[in-house]
Chains A and B, each alone.
Chain A
Amino acid sequence: GAVVSQHPSWVICKSGTSVKIECRSLDFQATTMFWYRQFPKQSLMLMATSNEGSKATYEQGVEKDKFLINHASLTLSTLTVTSAHPEDSSFYICSARQTDNYGYTFGSGTRLTVV
């Protein structure tokens, strides 16, 4: 089945620094990937849609200059949290879909803690 690999699984960083999270589709090509944010015991909040070779589409209220998305290849999308603050601490998850006939495959998530 389709596998999406997300790294790192957890990261602790200091306020003001930037953190990059990678999302790779291992056995399929993904022209579109999705980035979510999730708070404890809550549902997923879509942040942005990452499009290979073009600009990402951000959801309302998500700062595109703070959450930089790059989708340079058909198997890799990255999310960079710039100038991180403690309120950016959260669980970030990416997803992709192999074909139109299947649901979405999610990465294992990244727990970001900003201190």
Chain B
Amino acid sequence: TQLLEQSPQFLSIQEGENLTVYCNSSSVFSSLQWYRQEPGEGPVLLVTVVTGGEVKKLKRLTFQFGDARKDSSLHITAAQPGDTGLYLCAGERVNRKLIWGLGTSLAVNP
């Protein structure tokens, strides 16, 4: 059973377009973390959201944590080829265990 549903799994868009990645669960998380991974490397933390309703911005990336702390979204504005990569969401349970989404493989074409 996948406890954290991440969608879409694959996304191919043109440079300049906007996109949103979703992570949804029926479980409440103490925090929700977003990572980006390049091929052949480990994931790199982008942001951690902790408070229900929290919104964090990182340049063209906007992260939102749902009010009930069960879901989160990542919105990228005016995507660039450098945004290409695998985006992973991970929810942290109260026992500190991370529940991972399946990942979104993003390709931004010039």
Which residues of A does B touch, CB under 8 Å? 4, 6, 34, 41-44, 46, 91, 93, 95, 102-109, 111
Contacts and interface: CB of A to CB of B under 8 A. Distances in A.
Contact of A107 (B31, B42, B48, B97): B42
Contacts of A95: 42
A108 B42 CA distance: 4
Contacts of A107: 42
Interface of B: 6, 31, 33, 35, 40-45, 47-48, 86, 88, 97-98, 100-103, 105
**Among all A-B residue pairs, the 7 with the closest Cβ atoms:** A106-B42, A103-B45, A43-B103, A103-B33, A103-B48, A43-B102, A43-B100
B43 A108 contact: no
Given A41-B86, A43-B103, A108-B41, 17 more contacts: A41-B103, A41-B105, A42-B103, A43-B88, A44-B43, A46-B97, A46-B98, A91-B40, A95-B42, A102-B45, A103-B31, A103-B33, A103-B45, A103-B48, A104-B98, A106-B43, A109-B40
Q: Which of A6, A42, A43, A109 has the most CB of B within 10 A?
A: A43
Contacts of A111: 40
Contact of B100 (A44, A91, A108): A44
Nearest to A106: B42
